[in-house]
């Protein structure tokens, strides 16, 4: 199929909305990463998302809305905690998991009795969703397993010819996917960490929130051996920032015949080796992370990343880095 490249003007937004209602796929910007949108009320459209991405169908999708009232049409039950989050936190880079209504297909939820709902903070995302007039399922708009796209050009790299249209909006300013907060059980759980932290949720709810995805404990867990966010070349991850250690590792790779690159916090410390700045604040690191992996995989054949932040947001970034490196922690 020939993919249309659409702009943020009312004619193109109208067309994007029409395409969604006709059951076509439209990629669109959000503040976290670009999403691959489909009409959540059209099972055939939703199913085609899995095909376009090459995504396993046992991984459920997030339903995106532009207006809070839609949440009540999608969720069967909005608990007092959920209401606080909806009222006080949304729109945000946050997805809430709530019990689903029967109108939400098993194809979206992979057979679960719950549904993930997100109201993005990006104005462009909400504008597109408003033109769509229906709730929109959207996974990240990358081929399954690849780093998530944070610009429309990266969506084009993966999805040209596979989707009806790509809305050419702004680059994403958060850069990693939304926090997934499960409010469907007895205790609030963060299933995927993001820029909205457990502490922020705890302040709103006045109770503790458990983070299930602790990247440090997952390093040794057998369940996370699959690669996600992976560049095309091998990648190693260091958590110490130790210049001597990284230098020795790099030099060892060179001896083996690799052309590696160090993606590090202090690129100036590595002499004339191949270096690339990972960023000096959590915000910078997150915003550029997936783009950096896509840039470096084209020029080098081994990426050695180093990241040391211990903040809550830093832990969310680390979660992506550990997966991108396929748990190859040095
Ligand atoms: O920032 C984001 O969330 C982006 C943008 C496009 O909004 N979307 C995104 O979608 O990251 P995706 O499909 O790449 O990730 C969806 C995550 C997966 O980890 C999935 O397992 C989880 O949400 N999820 C979806 N429905 C769920 C449910 N009912 N229960 C638990 N987890 C769920
Ligand atoms: Mg994804």
Ligand nearest the Cα of residue 128 is 1
Whether ligand 1 lies within 6 angstroms of the CB of 159 is answered as no
pLDDT band at 313 (very low <50, low <70, confident <90, very high): very high
Q: Residue 70 and residue 133: Cα distance in Å, rounded? A: 10
Closest by CA position to 216, among listed 330, 325, 320, 318 = 318
Q: What is the pLDDT of residues 242-297, one digit of tens each?
A: 999 999 999 999 999 999 999 999 999 999 999 999 999 999 999 999 999 999 99
List the beta bridge partners of residue 37.
26
Whether ligand 1 lies within 6 angstroms of the CB of 116 is answered as yes
pLDDT band at 229 (very low <50, low <70, confident <90, very high): confident
Angle at which helix 80-88 crosses helix 198-205, to 10 degrees, equals 110
Q: What is the pLDDT of residues 181-213, one digit of tens each?
A: 999 999 999 999 999 999 999 999 999 999 986
CB-based burial, 208-219: b 16+ in 10 Å, e otherwise: ebebebebeebb
140 alpha carbon – ligand 2 mean position (Å): 4
Mean pLDDT calculated for residue range 58-80: 96
At residue 215, does pLDDT exceed 50?
no
In ligand 1, which atom is closest to the CA atom of 176? 1
Whether ligand 1 lies within 6 angstroms of the CB of 178 is answered as yes
In ligand 1, which atom is closest to the CA atom of 141? 6
119 alpha carbon – ligand 1 mean position (Å): 13
Mean pLDDT calculated for residue range 69-75: 97
pLDDT on residue 226 = 52
286 alpha carbon – ligand 2 mean position (Å): 15
Task: Tell how strand 136-137 and strand 35-39 pair up.
Answer: antiparallel
Q: Looking only at Cα atoms, what is the longest distance across the chain?
A: 61
Closest by CA position to 306, among listed 272, 260, 257 = 260
At residue 316, does pLDDT exceed 80?
yes
Ligand nearest the Cα of residue 99 is 1
Predicted structure pTM score:
0.95
Cα dist from 67 to 23, 100, 134, 135, whole Å: 21, 17, 11, 10
Cβ-contact 125, 96 below 8 angstroms: no
Whether ligand 1 lies within 6 angstroms of the CB of 235 is answered as no
In ligand 1, which atom is closest to the CA atom of 177? 1
Whether ligand 1 lies within 6 angstroms of the CB of 108 is answered as no
Arithmetic mean of pLDDT over the chain: 94
Ligand 1 pocket test: which of 90, 95, 143, 183 has the largest number of ligand atoms within 8 Å of its C-beta?
95
Q: What are the percentages of helix, strand and coil residues in the chain, rounded to 5?
A: 40, 20, 45
Which residue bears the tokens 């759980």?
Answer: 189
Cβ-contact 32, 93 below 8 angstroms: yes
57 alpha carbon – ligand 2 mean position (Å): 13
For the four alpha carbons of 224, 45, 12 and 163, in that order, the dihedral sign comes to: positive
Q: What is the pLDDT of residues 283-307, one digit of tens each?
A: 999 999 999 999 999 999 999 999 9
pLDDT on residue 227 = 63
At residue 217, does pLDDT exceed 90?
no
pLDDT on residue 265 = 96
Integer distance in angstroms from the first to the last C-alpha of the chain? 44
205 alpha carbon – ligand 2 mean position (Å): 27
110 alpha carbon – ligand 1 mean position (Å): 12
270 alpha carbon – ligand 2 mean position (Å): 33
Closest by CA position to 287, among listed 171, 187, 198, 179 = 171
Q: What is the pLDDT of residues 17-48, one digit of tens each?
A: 999 999 999 999 999 999 999 999 999 999 99
Q: Where are the beta strands (DSSP E) in the chain?
A: 4-6, 26-28, 35-39, 62-64, 94-99, 114-118, 136-137, 165-167, 179-182, 189-192, 210-211, 235-238, 260-264, 275-277, 302-306
Q: Residue whose CA is closest, atom 19 of ligand 1?
A: 192
Q: Residue whose CA is closest, atom 15 of ligand 1?
A: 139
pLDDT band at 56 (very low <50, low <70, confident <90, very high): confident
Task: Tell how strand 179-182 and strand 94-99 pair up.
Answer: parallel
Count other C-beta atoms under 10 Å from residue 283's C-beta.
15
Which residue bears the tokens 């408003």?
Answer: 130
Mean pLDDT calculated for residue range 114-131: 98
Whether ligand 1 lies within 6 angstroms of the CB of 139 is answered as yes
pLDDT band at 219 (very low <50, low <70, confident <90, very high): very low
Q: Residue 57 and residue 111: Cα distance in Å, rounded? A: 10
Q: Residue 67 and residue 282: Cα distance in Å, rounded? A: 30
Closest by CA position to 277, among listed 259, 298, 254, 295 = 295
Whether ligand 1 lies within 6 angstroms of the CB of 57 is answered as no
Mean pLDDT calculated for residue range 93-108: 97
Whether ligand 1 lies within 6 angstroms of the CB of 118 is answered as yes
Whether ligand 1 lies within 6 angstroms of the CB of 40 is answered as no
The share of the chain scoring above pLDDT 70, in percent, equals 95
Task: Tell how strand 114-118 and strand 62-64 pair up.
Answer: parallel
Q: Residue 256 and residue 275: Cα distance in Å, rounded? A: 18
The share of the chain scoring above pLDDT 90, in percent, equals 91
At residue 158, does pLDDT exceed 90?
yes
pLDDT on residue 218 = 41
């Amino acid at each position: 199929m020939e993919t249309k490249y659409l702009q943020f003007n009312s004619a193109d937004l109208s067309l994007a909305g029409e395409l969604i209602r006709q059951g076509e796929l439209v990629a669109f910007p959000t503040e976290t990463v670009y999403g691959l949108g489909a009409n959540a009320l059209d099972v055939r459209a939703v199913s085609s998302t899995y095909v376009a991405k090459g995504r396993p169908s046992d991984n459920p999708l997030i339903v995106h809305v532009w207006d809070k009232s839609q949440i009540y049409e999608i969720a069967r039950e909005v608990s007092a905690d959920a209401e606080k989050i909806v009222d006080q936190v949304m729109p945000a880079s946050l997805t809430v998991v709530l019990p689903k209504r029967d109108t939400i297909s098993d194809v979206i939820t992979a057979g679960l009795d719950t549904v993930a709902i997100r109201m993005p903070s990006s104005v462009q995302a909400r504008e597109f969703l408003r033109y769509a007039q229906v709730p929109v399922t959207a996974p990240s708009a990358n081929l399954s397993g690849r780093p998530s796209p944070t610009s429309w050009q990266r969506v084009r790299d993966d999805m040209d010819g596979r989707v009806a249209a790509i809305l050419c909006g702004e680059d994403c300013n958060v850069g990693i996917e939304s926090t997934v907060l499960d409010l469907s059980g007895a205790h609030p759980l963060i299933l995927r960490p993001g820029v909205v932290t457990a502490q922020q949720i705890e302040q709103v709810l006045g109770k503790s929130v458990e983070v299930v995805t602790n990247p440090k404990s997952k390093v040794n867990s057998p369940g996370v051996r699959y690669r996600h966010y992976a560049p095309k070349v091998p990648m190693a991850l260091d958590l110490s920032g130790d210049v001597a250690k990284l230098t020795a590792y790099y030099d060892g790779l060179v001896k083996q015949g690799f052309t590696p690159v160090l993606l590090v916090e202090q690129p100036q410390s590595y002499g004339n080796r191949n270096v690339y700045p990972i960023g000096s604040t959590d915000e910078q690191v997150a915003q550029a992370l997936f783009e950096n992996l896509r840039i470096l995989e084209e020029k080098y054949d081994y990426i050695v990343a180093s990241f040391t932040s211990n903040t809550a947001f830093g832990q969310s970034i680390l979660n992506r880095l550990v997966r991108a490196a396929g748990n190859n922690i040095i």
